[in-house]
Amino acid sequence: MRKKIAIFILIGWALLIIGDRVDELRVYQGAQVAMYTIALASIVLLTGYSGQVSLGNGAMMAVGGYGAALTLNNLGTPIWFAFLMAIVTASLFGALLGAAAARVSGPYLAGTTLALAVGLPAIANQFAFLGGEPGLFFDVGFPPERFGDEFTQYKWFFWIACFIALIALFITSNILSSRFGRTWKAIRGNSLAAELCGVHSSRMKVLAFTVSSGLAGLAGAVLAMTISLVAPGAYGLALSFALVTGAVLAGISSLPGVVLGALILVFIPEISVALADRLGDADKLNNYLPGLIVSVLLILSVIFTPNGPGENLRKHLHKKPAH
Amino acid sequence: MIRKTRIRRTWLAAAVIASGSLLATALPANAETGVSAREIKLGITLPLTGAASPGYSKIGNAMDAYFKYVNDNGGVYGRKVTLIQKNDEYSPQLSIAKTNELILRDKVFALVGPLGTANFTAVHKSVGLAKRRVPSLFLNTGFSGFSKKKSYPTSFMVLPSYAMEAKIIAQFLKENHAGKKLGIVYQNDEFGIDGMGAFKAAGTKFDVTIPYTSGSQSSATAQTWVSQLAAGGAEVVVMFGVTSATGALLGVSAAARYAPQWILGSVGSDPVTLRAIGVPVAVLNGAQTPAGNPSPNDTSDEYVKQFQEINTKYNTGVAFDDYVLQGMNIGLLTVQALRAAGKNLTRRGLVRAMETKGSKFASVAYSPLGFSRTSNVGHTGYYMAVMDATGDRKPFGGKVTLYTTDSGSGPVVVSTFKRPAMPAKGLPSNS
């Protein structure tokens, strides 16, 4: 445990140094990587460990984002409390959904959560208190003045996002290596066998949904912070599909792999711009290329590395010490 | 022990990948961002695809066509103007992402003509345009909130505000539809509330008031609007919403044979866009609307004639309409602003030039520009027009009667303002 804490502190320290060395675009992208890391961790926990396939994590992010924004805007609470409320709101919603989801599995569960991803963000359009299509502002404020004029808003986002991501990953990795993680794995492997061993599989599935939703909600609030906004369009179907792709590329049961998945998701638009510039008519191509790249990567990954390149990398790294 | 070592190695590998990627590029800053000896880079976010793209998507290409015309005739003090267009699909969060790309990756000198109230509100706040001192010229939105100079010190409007528009419509209702039962459908956000506040201040009392949430408009919701308007006996109906809402209202009303006198706000009355979303343009026949520019079909107008020629050569195959006219006009205003800022172009200099010389710029719109050291308001008035069955408009009463006002409590007055002449060959020579 001490070593793990030391590693997380080391990574945090490295990120602080990196934040000072790179230009502002990379700092902004760094905050996005942190956001995706948390979101992908929620999928790894739910799908990789408890075996429940969800296509609706974008919707759970929306619940967290709106929970945080409503808390901050209406109650004027400190920012950390808004993030906490994002977790609480999404967890409660996840518990309700989990109770229903525990009754279905496989493609039926995927279908149910897909419906959620399609429908939930659009609900915001119908309620004025949720801000309609333009959404609600989520303003975490300027960085403290003592950091100086050179300390930009995006660096502030980067710091907050990385801090939250490190804590979220630390807690998640501990949960996954605890009794709960082992139980979820047992359910995923063979639900009937797990029940014969005394595991209450439905209850544990609901718990997995609740914890995963809390993480997704937290990612939703971090996303809202990086764009200063919660709006239905930010949590659309494309986000849910991108997350699934990221999780598959990361290796669906590999928690450290989520960093790789998050990096791929953030840098797909970069690849798209580079490709579009080479192919010509960049403006038009840029509208469609990111979606195409995500789809192609997902298909190639499923064909050639069913467990994801992240999982393969992890196995490769694990093999070396034994040789 | 081995397992712990493996976990540590995996975490460290992930951290190294993250670090390496973030360190990948770091470009040195130029003397002035987006300006070189040969080029001035400008950026715009607008919907090139999606529900809001019909019409709006033409603005960027029209601006680009005008810049190409200027570039072929010597550019701005020898520098060519390059416009980078980014598609935000009219979504605020995409506007933020795309503006970040323009500023952080493409390193544009200034934003010109960014589109949408919610979009620019979100962008200004999230990207921090004021703090970065990035000039944002000729916003394609009429939200009067953007005229707060202290909050938006580097932003400049071009359209008259929605509050001005509402005040002018209120005056028109008083003069031409007194004693009739009035109804209004408005968008319940900054855009509509801006207008409703002005109607209230002008003393206009509506017998039927219908707010709608942005995004909720559809044929189904329009059915309920028409039922309420008809039940309330509204004889004159003001539509103060976006084009999709106007289209739904007009379409459902035509099917229900409900035909009040329509007064359509400038945002939702474009016949090209209405046609693109499936509304038969004939339903516009007789509708009254505030207008700032001459009709794009009025070839007797020197601006329209010049812009049509540029469009034929540099925007080949694109029909010349209000959006193309607006885009070319923003191009014309932008070139004047860049020239006014001088050969040693800086962001600070551009803002100062807008404040000190902007009110004298040549522009196709009939009303004066309100730029000064204390004001970032663009055009300040409208004339009322009547639409025919093709959607074309003619001045109400046969001649242009220009009303000017402000976004506050100032009166609505008939103006005798004469707009500056179009620069020779459409090429500004100001300094």
CA distances from A220 to A227, A236, B212 (A): 11, 12, 27
Contact B22 A286 (CB under 8 A): no
- Cβ density class A230-257: b for 16+ within 10 Å, e for less: bbbbbbbbebbbbbbbbbbbbbbbbbbb
Residue B379: HSE in the Cβ half-sphere, 13 Å Cα cutoff: 31
B23 CB neighbour count, 10 Å cutoff: 13
Measured distance CA(A57)–CA(A114) in Å, rounded: 9
Chain centroid, CA A2 distance in Å: 26
> Tens-of-pLDDT digits for all 431 residues of chain B?
455 555 555 555 555 555 555 554 333 334 789 999 999 999 999 998 877 787 888 999 999 999 999 999 999 999 999 999 999 888 888 899 899 989 998 999 999 999 988 899 889 988 889 888 999 999 999 999 899 999 999 999 999 999 999 999 999 999 999 999 999 999 988 888 889 999 999 999 999 999 998 777 888 999 999 999 999 999 999 999 988 899 999 999 999 999 999 999 998 888 888 887 778 888 899 999 999 999 999 999 999 999 999 999 999 999 999 999 999 999 999 999 999 999 999 999 999 999 999 999 999 999 999 999 999 999 999 999 999 988 889 999 999 999 999 999 999 999 999 999 999 999 999 99
In angstroms and rounded to an integer, the radius of gyration of the C-alpha atoms of chain B is 23
Contact A322 B27 (CB under 8 A): no
Chain centroid, CA A297 distance in Å: 18
For A268, counting Cβ atoms within 10 Å of its Cβ (0-12 exposed, 13-18 middle, 19+ buried), the class is buried
Model-level pTM? Answer: 0.80
Residue A309: HSE in the Cβ half-sphere, 13 Å Cα cutoff: 13
Q: Yes or no: say if A221 and A65 are a contact pair by the CB < 8 Å rule.
A: yes
Q: Which two tokens mark A19?
A: 């934040």
> Which of A49, A42, A33 has its CA nearest to residue A63?
A42
Confidence at residue A320, expressed as pLDDT on a 0 to 100 scale: 54
ipTM of the complex model:
0.70
At B172-191, the pLDDT tens digits run: 999 999 999 999 999 988 88
Measured distance CA(A113)–CA(A90) in Å, rounded: 14
Q: Which two tokens mark A271?
A: 């690849």
Contact B9 A317 (CB under 8 A): yes
Q: Give the minimum alpha-carbon distance from A107 to chain B in angstroms, rounded to a whole number.
A: 31
Chain A residues 74-133 within an 8 A CB cutoff of chain B:
125-128, 132-133
Whether the CB of A139 is below 8 Å from some CB of chain B: the reply is yes
B229 CB neighbour count, 10 Å cutoff: 24
Place of tokens 């333009």: A134
Dihedral in degrees, nearest 10, Cα atoms B311, B313, B317, B320:
20
Q: Which domains does chain B have, with CATH numbers?
A: 39-160+296-379 (3.40.50.2300), 163-291 (3.40.50.2300)
Chain B residues 179-208 within an 8 A CB cutoff of chain A:
188-189
Measured distance CA(B21)–CA(B156) in Å, rounded: 38
- Mutation target to probe the A interface, by most A beta carbons within 10 A, among B88, B143, B213 is B213
Helix/strand/coil for B236: strand
Residue B384: HSE in the Cβ half-sphere, 13 Å Cα cutoff: 20
Measured distance CA(B9)–CA(A157) in Å, rounded: 28
Measured distance CA(B9)–CA(B3) in Å, rounded: 10
Amino acid symbol at B144: S
The H or E element that residue A177 is part of is none
Confidence at residue B28, expressed as pLDDT on a 0 to 100 scale: 37
> Which of B195, B196, B202, B44 has its CA nearest to residue B108?
B44
Whether the CB of A3 is below 8 Å from some CB of chain B: the reply is yes
Q: Bridge partners of A251?
A: none
Q: Which two tokens mark B176?
A: 């031409």
> Which of B294, B309, B267, B7 has its CA nearest to residue B142?
B267
- Cβ density class A274-291: b for 16+ within 10 Å, e for less: eebeeeeebeebbbebbe
Q: Which of B23, B91, B188 sits opposite A18 (nearest CB)?
A: B23
| Long-range CB contacts (within 8 A, 24+) of B425-430 | B425/B73, B425/B306, B426/B66, B426/B69, B426/B306, B426/B307, B426/B309, B426/B310, B426/B332, B427/B70, B427/B73, B428/B332, B428/B335, B428/B336, B428/B339, B428/B362, B429/B339, B430/B336, B430/B339, B430/B340, B430/B357, B430/B360, B430/B361
Whether the CB of A300 is below 8 Å from some CB of chain B: the reply is no
Q: Yes or no: say if A63 and A57 are a contact pair by the CB < 8 Å rule.
A: no
Q: Give the minimum alpha-carbon distance from A125 to chain B in angstroms, rounded to a whole number.
A: 6
Q: Which of B8, B92, B125 sits opposite A134 (nearest CB)?
A: B92
Whether the CB of A233 is below 8 Å from some CB of chain B: the reply is yes
Place of tokens 């070396």: A320
Mean pLDDT for back-to-back runs of 10 residues, chain A (323 residues):
81 83 87 94 88 85 95 91 96 88 74 80 76 82 81 89 94 90 84 82 87 95 91 84 84 80 86 76 68 81 73 66 50
